[in-house]
Amino acid sequence: MANRSNLAVQCCRCRNKHTEADREPRPHRSISCVSELVCPRCGCTSYYDITPWYAWCWASGLIEMGPTKPGDSPDGAGAIVIARGGKAHLEAVMQAVARHGQGASEGKLLVPGVPEADLIGRDPVDVLREFVDWCAQSNGRRHRHGVVFGTQVEG
C-alpha cells in the first residue's frame, strides 16, 4: 500500500520527479522551529501528486478517477477505462475535456453526448469511443503532462 514516504510527486517548478521520502527538510522561511520538505533538485516547496491514476466511464456517461478501476456494478455493467496519468495531471486534463454536470449532476464530470445518446438514437459506446479518440489526438503533447487517453491504457 502507498504511504506518505513513497508517494510519487513532481516538482511544480523544475519538473523533477521523486518521492516524498526524497524531499529534503529545510527550515521554514517565516516560522522558526518548523521545517518544510523541498525538491531535492531546486528547493521548491510546491509539488504535484503524480501517483498513477486512471479515469473510467460508466454507461451513464459519468467519469470517475482513482488508483484502481472499480469492479462491475450490481447490475453487471462495467466501467470502461478511458485514460491514465499522474493524479494531479489526470484531474486537470479531465476537468478541461469533460462536460461539467448541471443540476443533479452538479460537481460531476460527464463524457459529452453519452448521457443523451439514447434520446438521439445513437449508441452510447460509439459516442464514448469518438470522445476518447478525439482526446487521444493530443496524447504525447506537452500540455497533457503524460496523461494518455485510450480504451487500451489499462495495466
Of 36 and 154, nearer to Zn ion (C-beta) is: 36
Nearest approach in angstroms of CB 113 to Zn ion is 40
Find the binder of Zn ion among 14, 21, 96, 125 (CB under 5 A): 14
Coil, helix or strand for 87? helix
* Spatial separation of the C-alpha atoms in residues 71 and 64, rounded to whole Å: 13
CB-wise, 43 or 66, nearer to Zn ion? 43
Task: Quote the cell numbers at residue 119.
Answer: 434520446
What is the C-alpha separation between 45 and 27, in angstroms, rounded?
11
28-53 as b/e: b if 16+ CB within 10 A: eeeeeeeeeebbeeeeeeebbebbeb
> Rule CB under 5 A: is residue 139 a binding residue for Zn ion?
no
Say whether residue 11 binds Zn ion (CB under 5 A).
yes
Nearest CB to Zn ion, comparing residues 44 and 77: 44
Using CB under 5 A as the binding rule, the residues of this chain from 19 to 78 that contact Zn ion are 39, 41-42, 44
Grid cell digits, residue 70:
472499480
- Cβ-based nearer residue to Zn ion, 88 or 127: 88
Judge contact between 37 and 52, C-beta under 8 A: no
Interface with Zn ion: number of residues (CB under 5 A)? 8
Other C-beta atoms lying within 10 Å of the C-beta of residue 14: 11
Shortest Å, Cβ 26 to Zn ion: 12
Piece of the chain touching Zn ion by CB under 5 A; list 3-11, 18-26, 113-121, 141-149: 3-11
Nearest-Å Rg of the Cα atoms of the chain is 19
Q: How far is the CB of 149 from Zn ion (least distance, A)?
A: 28
Q: Site residues (CB under 5 A) for Zn ion? A: 11, 13-14, 16, 39, 41-42, 44
